[in-house]
Amino acid sequence: MTDDLERRLAAGTPGAALDLNRLRAAITHRAAEEGLIDVAYGAYDSPIGALTVMVSDRGLVRVSYPGDGIAAQLEELADRVSPRILEAAALTDQVRRQLDEYFDGTRRSFDVKIDWRLVRGFAREVLAVTSAIPFGSVSTYGEVAARAGSPRAYRAAGNALGSNPIPIVVPCHRVLHAGGGLGGYSGGLDRKRYLLNLEEAS
């Protein structure tokens, strides 16, 4: 069957792509059944661009914006989490479904486990504090730094937020400058504005 599939793909015959998709699905299903996938990832088409959702056996480990350098991120996951990574969108369904609800305005908080293995030290504390900022509310870099245990470390807090591997779900878009300015955002300020406006309108 594999030889036949290869011949059909080489010839560009109709149905070859369908067969290849079935083969990929079968391989993914088998790998999942046998516990061979430690990190699964899948695309998510959001109102603010095509995201990539990555989950490990411990929970959501990364949400990537377009242009974030997926190859480098997968390499980091291979180094720091596990090299057993496979594109398997079905294994990310829970997160993608909750993102749908969030963007539809029917979800105000996410109910998914988080895998924090890409975050350490003070950055972990900053993101834990950020996770607790309620939907529709905002905080400042200084307030987040203080709650994380280092009131003067607002620049370090900003750096931690700027490298947040799980944007939207860990809502770093809710952190602003003390004067009300937007500050920075890894996904770009247009996306930050969109998310804040979405939450204000919901």
Neighbours of 191 (CB within 10 A): 19
Which residue matches tokens 């939207």? 168
Please report, for residues 72, 95, 182, 187, 194, the alpha-carbon distance to residue 78 in angstroms, rounded to integers and kept in the order given: 10, 21, 34, 23, 32
CA–CA dist 160, 147 (Å, integer): 14
DSSP three-state, residue 139: strand
Residue 202 has pLDDT above 60, yes or no: no
Q: Tell me what pLDDT residue 180 has.
A: 81
Residue 8 has pLDDT above 70, yes or no: no
Q: Mean pLDDT score of the chain, rounded to an integer?
A: 89
Q: Tell me what pLDDT residue 201 has.
A: 66
Please report, for residues 32, 39, 135, 188, 198, the alpha-carbon distance to residue 48 in angstroms, rounded to integers and kept in the order given: 30, 24, 18, 10, 11
Residue 62 tokens, joined: 């990364």
Which residue in 133, 172, 196, 198 is the catalytic one?
A: 172
Q: Where are the domains of the chain?
A: 1-36, 37-116, 121-201
134-153 pLDDT per residue, tens: 999 999 999 999 999 998 99
Q: Do the domains spanning 37-116 and 121-201 agree at the CATH topology level?
A: no
Say what the alpha-carbon torsion angle 132, 137, 143, 145 is, to the nearest 10 degrees: 40
| Domain 37-116 grouped into CATH 3.40.50.720 | no
- Nearest by Cα to 105 from 3, 18, 199: 199
Mean pLDDT of all residues in 178-200: 92
Residue 19 has pLDDT above 90, yes or no: no
* 172 is annotated as an active-site residue: yes
Q: Which amino acid is at 197?
A: N
Overall CATH class of domain 121-201: mainly alpha
